[in-house]
Amino acid sequence: MRPVTFSQILLDFYEMYTPFTPKLKHLSLFRSPSSRHGMAEEAKKLAGYAAVDNHVQNNQVVGVGSGSTIVYAVDRLAERVRQEKLNIVCVPTSFQARQLILQHGLTLSDLDRHPELDVAIDGADEVDAALTLIKGGGGCLTQEKIVAGCAKHFIVIADFRKDSSVLGQQWKKGVPIEVIPMAYVPVSRTIAKRFGGEAVLRMAVSKAGPVVTDNSNFILDWKFEHTHNWKEVNIAIKMIPGVVETGLFVGMAERVYFGMEDGNVGVRDPPVN
């Protein structure tokens, strides 16, 4: 006889005593982590497809971001290039992005040959109400910011888990800060002293020692304690000797597409001052 789980007992109880409650509500009480992960992946796909469909046109130079969400955007971009015979040139933000471009048979270029981009599409670790971003969870923040800064339009794609009213509401790993290796200790101490919180050296998972970026630098994750004026803090941190770049993207995103749990795509534009 098949063993009965505790969740199944509770589900049977609800069905017995609430016969007119829609089945979907019952199942949502016991949504497994795997089903939520599948929902997040579908949401990433929705956001990526929406950005490519709405912002990529023929004869454009496109900046290709990094991370898990951008995979779906590149899938859609390659599909449109094949189906519509588009002439698209792609500039990557990382080794991962470069490999995605090549694997999909897209035209690869760089900022030497194409210093001005028509549009850049990238993901984010968190987005607040003002479209301030935390990026760099994957360690590619410096090249991502350079490419975004070279684009006429910077479009962000994310799933519903990255949507916050203020930074730190959803993303708990802090603000990534790329630093010159020899400076990581003094930079960490300076950030903690001036802005509070703790700046921790990011350690690698599948190798001994710290994470090393595509630029051969280290990453500090600054776990801040409260909301700041992010524009001022971003500038101040960048002025600390040894800091290469921060994962704070302030006033850069033109639009964010959020793939939602219900299968829709939410759109957020910068607030009108």
**List of long-range contacts for 231-235, beta carbons under 8 Å, 24+ apart:** 233/195
Which are the contacts of 26, defined by CB distance < 8 A and separation ≥ 6?
A: 11, 14, 15
Cα separation, 72 vs 42, in Å, equals 9
Closest CA to 173 of 204, 136, 133: 136
79 is catalytic: no
CB half-sphere exposure, 38, CA atoms < 13 A? 5
Q: Which listed residue (15, 116, 126, 144) is catalytic?
A: 144
Contact 91, 117 (CB under 8 A): yes
Residue 125 is encoded by which pair of tokens? 């670790």
Residues known to be catalytic: 144
